Structure 1
Amino acid sequence: MKKQNWFLTLMGDSKRQKFTIPILAILLSLLAGAVVYLVLGKNPITAYLSYLQGSGLIPKANYAAKKSMLTDLMSLLNAWTPMLFASLSVAVAMRSGLFNIGVSGQMMAAGLIATVTVGYSSFPAGVAKPLVVLISALVGALVASLIGFLKYKWNINEVVSAIMINYIVRYSVSFCIKKFMADPVSRQSRAINASARLSLMDTEIGGLKMDIPLGIILAIIAVFLVRFLFNKMKLGFEFRTIGANPRAAKYAGINVGRNLIITMALSGALAGLAGATYFLGYYGSIQPDTLISTGFDAIAVSILGNSSPIGILLSSFLITVIDKGSTYMSSTVGVRQEIGSLITGLILLFAACGAFFSYLIDRGRQKAADAQTKADGKEERV
C-alpha cells in the first residue's frame, strides 16, 4: 500500500517549491523569533501583531494628532520603494549569473549626482522630479556598466570590482559632502529642495499629515516591466541562457560580452532609482562614511523572492513591514528595537538555505520512493 508523506506532498515538485520553500523559510524564521520572545518573557503573538500595527496594516489602540493608520501605511510605502528597486536590481544581475553586490554604492553615487545637479536647483517640481529620476538611473547604469565591462574585457570578478567601486564611491561622496555640502548641525548633506524630492513630506490631507511616496508608482511599474523582460523579450531569454551556461550561449551565437554590460546597466539603473527614492525621497539627505544596508539586504530579499519580480514584490514588502514596525513593537512589547533586525536576519538566513531545503526534500522523496519499492517487492513475493 502506497504511503504518502504529507510534508513532501505539501512542498510539491521543483516548480512548486519556488513558492513553498520561501514560505517555509518565513515560517521557520517566525517560529525561531517566537522562541526568542518567549525566552525574553514576552508574548510572540502580541509582538508580531505590533509589527503590523506599527507599519499601518492594522490599527493601533491610539494615534497622535494628525496621525492615523493611513499615515503609517504611507510611511511604510515610502520605505518600501527603495528596497523594491534595489531587490529588482539584484534580480536582473542574477538573471545573467552576475552578483551585483555594488547596489549600495550605485545608490549613493546616483543620490549624490542627482542632489548636486537637481536637488539644490531652482527648477520647478514638474521639471525637477523627472530629472532626478532620469539622472539617478543614468548614473547607476554608468557605474554598474563599468563592472560589466571589467568582467567582459578582462574577466575581473564582478564581486571584487563591485566591492572596490563601493569603497571608491563611499569615500568620494563622503569627501564631497564634508567639503562642500555638509549641514553644520546634522553633519549630513544639506536637505534638498522640496521641489526635487520624490516624497511629498508632511502633506496635510483630510486633517492628516502624511508622507506621500511618488516613487512607489514607478517601482510597481518596474516590477511588471522586469517581469515582461524576463518572460517575453528576446533579451531576457539571452540573459537566462548566459546565466545558465555562458559557453553554450556563446556557441549559440549570443553576444555574451554585450549582454553582460547590458545586464549590469539595467541592474545599475534600477539601483540608481533605489538611490533616488531613498536619498531624495524617503530620507532627504546623504549620510557620509556610510553605505546603507538596503543594497546588501536586497541580495537576500531577491533570493527570498526566487529572483522573480512578483516574488520580490512580496518579499521586499515583508522585510519592510518588519523594519518599519520594529519601533512600535519595541515600545509596545518592551524589548529592544534590534529584535526586529534579528527577525529579518533569520528570514534572510533561512531564505539563503533554500537550496539546502530543496536538497533535503528531494532526498526525502527519493528515500520514500526506495522504501515504497522495497515494500512493493515484499508484497509481490508474498
Structure 2
Amino acid sequence: MRPIRDEKWQPVTIPLVAILISFIAAAIVILIIGKNPIQAFYNLLQGAGILPKPSYAGYKSMLTDFLSLLNAMTPLVFASLAVAVAFKAGLFNIGVSGQMLVSGFLATILVGYSGLDAIIAKPLVLVIGMTAGGLMGGLVGWLKYKFNINEVVSTIMLNYIAQYVISFFIQMYYIDPVSRQSQYISEAARLTLVNVEMANLKMDLPLGFILAIFTAVFLKFFMDKTVVGFEIKAVGSSRNAAKYAGMNVGRNTVLAMVISGGLAGLAGVTYYLGYFASIQPKVLSSIGFDSIAVSLLGNSHPIGVIFSSFLVSIIEQGSTYMSSQAGIRQEISSVIVGLILLFSACGAYLKHKVSSLKDKELDQKESES
C-alpha cells in the first residue's frame, strides 16, 4: 500500500491496482465457468503476439501477430487522446465514433477513390481527417460556448446524424455489391502497408503508429509547457476561476474540442483507411466508446494513454485465439475491459480512502504524543 499512499506516484499506482483487481475479478469469472484463468490469460497473450504460439500458418509468426496488434492499437491511441484532451478541458467527447466516421468517409471519397500517387495520397488523407474531425469537434465546442448545449447531448445526436447520412451515401453511390460495404480504397491511399514480404513473412505495417506515439509525446509537451495548454487545463479545473483570471473560456472550450475532434479524425482515417479499407454502413466503430475506458485507465495522461491502449488492444486482439484454445467465449474479453473501466472509475474513491487513512493516522499520532 505504500506506493498508493504516496501522492506523487498515485497517477501510476492507482491504475495499476485497478488493472490488477480487474484481472483478479476476471479470473474469478473464468473459474466460475469452469476454465483455467492462467491458461486463458496465456492464450490471450499468444493471440496478441506477445507470446509465441505452438505453430503458425505460412508467412506468419509472432512478429506478424504483434504488428497486427499495433495496427489495431493505432486508431485507439488517437481516439483515446481525443477523449483525454476533452477531459482536460472539463468536457466529455462521446462523439469520437461519429467524428471518426465523418473523417474516414470524406477521406475515402476524396482521396481513397481518386487514384492519386501514394506520396500525395497518404499525407492528404491525414490532413482531411484532422480537418474534418476538427471542424466537427469545433461545432460541438461552439454550441457549448454559444448556447450552453451540453456536449454529451450534441455529440450523441451528431453520432446518429453521421451514422445514417453517411450510410445513405454509401448505399446509394459507393456500395460494394459483394461485401455490402463501401468500395475498397486504393492501396496508395491506405495508411497500412498490407502483406509486405520480408524475411519470408507477410506483415501489415501501420504507418500511423509512429505518428500516434509522436502525437502523444507532443500533446504532453503542449499541455504541460505552453500557455494554451495551461489555459485549457485551467478552464477544465474551474471555468469561473479561469474567467476571473482573465482567460477566454469560450475560446479555450472551442479550441479544446477542435483539438479533440482533430485527434478523433486521425483515429478515423487510421481505422477506415488503415486497419480496414472500407466502411460498413449503419455501424459506428466501438473504438470511439472503448477510448473512454482507455482514457480513464490512462488517467487522461498522453503517455498513460499509450500504455492503456496497448493493454486493451492485447485483450481485444487476443480474445479470438483465447476463445479457440481455452474454450472461453470472446465476450469474456469485453467483461475484462468492463471490469478495468469499473475499477478505474474507482480511482477517486481510492484516493479519498488513502487520504482519510493518512488523516486518521496523523490524528492518532497527535493524540498519543
What TM-score comes out, normalization by structure 1 length?
Answer: 0.94
Alignment of 1:86-97 (within 5 A): 86-97=79-90
Distance 1:154 1:42 in 2: 54
Alignment of 1:186-265 (within 5 A): 186-265=179-258
Q: Residues 135-181 of structure 1: CA distance to partner in whole angstroms, max 9, x if unpaired?
A: 01100000010000001111111111111111111111111111111
Q: Residues 76-117 of structure 1: CA distance to partner in whole angstroms, max 9, x if unpaired?
A: 000000000000011111111111111010000000000000
What's the counterpart of residue 72 of structure 1?
65
SS in 1 for 2:202: strand
Question: Which of residues 284, 287, 290 in structure 2 aligns to 1:291?
Answer: 284
Q: Residues 41-92 of structure 1: CA distance to partner in whole angstroms, max 9, x if unpaired?
A: 2221111111111111111111111100010011000000000000001111
Distance 1:290 1:122 in 2: 27
What's the counterpart of residue 185 of structure 1?
178
What's the counterpart of residue 22 of structure 2?
29
Give yes or no for the alignment of 1:17 onto 2:10: yes
Deviation at 1:363, TM superposition (A): 2.2
The structure number with the bigger radius of gyration is: 1
Moved more, 303-312 or 38-47: 38-47
RMSD over aligned Cα atoms = 1.1
Moved more, 268-277 or 354-363: 354-363
Matched letter for residue 153 of structure 1: K
Distance 2:331 2:42 in 1: 17
Distance 2:108 2:323 in 1: 34
What's the counterpart of residue 380 of structure 1?
none
Deviation at 1:255, TM superposition (A): 1.1
What TM-score comes out, normalization by structure 2 length?
Answer: 0.98
Paired residues of 2:3 and 2:9 also in contact (CA < 8 A): no
Matched letter for residue 363 of structure 1: S
What's the counterpart of residue 339 of structure 2?
346
Q: Residues 227-275 of structure 1: CA distance to partner in whole angstroms, max 9, x if unpaired?
A: 1111111110001111111111112111111111111111111000000
Alignment of 1:20-169 (within 5 A): 20-169=13-162
Poorly superposed stretches of 4+, deviation over 6 Å: none
Distance 1:307 1:18 in 2: 10
Distance 1:159 1:14 in 2: 31
What's the counterpart of residue 301 of structure 2?
308
Distance 2:35 2:79 in 1: 34
Deviation at 1:21, TM superposition (A): 0.8
Deviation at 1:28, TM superposition (A): 0.4
SS in 1 for 2:196: strand
Distance 1:326 1:338 in 2: 8
Matched letter for residue 154 of structure 1: F
Alignment of 1:347-366 (within 5 A): 347-366=340-359
Paired residues of 2:79 and 2:267 also in contact (CA < 8 A): yes
Gaps of 5+ in 2: none
Gaps of 5+ in 1: 1-6, 378-382
Distance 1:22 1:234 in 2: 29
Question: Which of residues 154, 175, 187 in structure 1 aligns to 2:168?
Answer: 175
Distance 2:346 2:303 in 1: 20
Distance 1:303 1:96 in 2: 14
Deviation at 1:299, TM superposition (A): 1.1
SS in 2 for 1:279: helix
Paired residues of 2:193 and 2:206 also in contact (CA < 8 A): yes
Distance 1:223 1:340 in 2: 26
Distance 1:354 1:19 in 2: 11
Alignment of 1:311-326 (within 5 A): 311-326=304-319
Percentage of identical aligned residues? 55
Moved more, 76-85 or 44-53: 44-53
Matched letter for residue 339 of structure 1: I
Deviation at 1:372, TM superposition (A): 3.7
Distance 2:34 2:21 in 1: 20
Distance 1:45 1:365 in 2: 36
